[in-house]
Structure 1
Amino acid sequence: MKYARLLTLCILGLTQVPTANASNDPETLITACKEVIDIYASRDEQRFLAGLTTGPSEAWQAGYCVGVVSEYRRHYECDTSNWYDQAERIAELPVSFASRTSVDQLLELSCGL
């Protein structure tokens, strides 16, 4: 039991560091959303194997995109039907677009507000 708590604290500590650093980086959000769209495309093509071939970095990026978009959707009504459609809109943007925008602007643009 003691080890389970320690492991949980370590995992939470590790997952909060990249999120804090990436929360205002539009390039990270675009790249992360591209990753989640790629994972879902692979899943549709290969079904079971997509989960097995997704590495920790790709999983973190995908989770980051889903988390940011889902949290945004909790506070704003979007014209997209779900988080995936909004993530797909972000993923369609070139990474070079990130230098001209912010995470908030990306979320607003992808939401259709």
Structure 2
Amino acid sequence: MPRHFGLKATSVAGPSAFTGASSATPDRTIGVCIEEPFSAQFSSVKALFPMLGAAILACELAGLPHSTVHLSKLKIHATGGNAKKPDMQAAAKERWGKDLGEDEADAAWAGAYALDSDLFGVETR
């Protein structure tokens, strides 16, 4: 079965990093679903949007299709409504049977959203 890679950009008042969740191998990755960055603080915006650009550039260089998804869609997909971080983690544990960190859960749900909604036109069920 082809796999999908979920990617979440995070910035916590300083260092920024990408976290991802996938069991994909490079030859089986079908696409990358990236959580859309947002922030009310300009300092975070300065960190998050360049990271989005870096993620898209990496996808382009690797020849992988990519899409962005708003966090509210991920929350609805994971829990059926507006969810807090612990709710997203609990839904991930229920679906995959693994304890995931906050960012790992969001990234996993980005990948699941893309697969479950056939975002890249690949039948996976």
* TM-score normalised by structure 2 residue count: 0.29
Q: Per chain length, whose mean CA-contact separation is higher, i.e. which structure has more relative contact order (CA < 8 Å, sep 6+)?
A: 1
Which protein is richer in strand relative to its size? 2
Task: Tell which structure's C-alpha radius of gyration is larger.
Answer: 1
- TM (norm. structure 1) is 0.31
* Higher relative helix content: 1
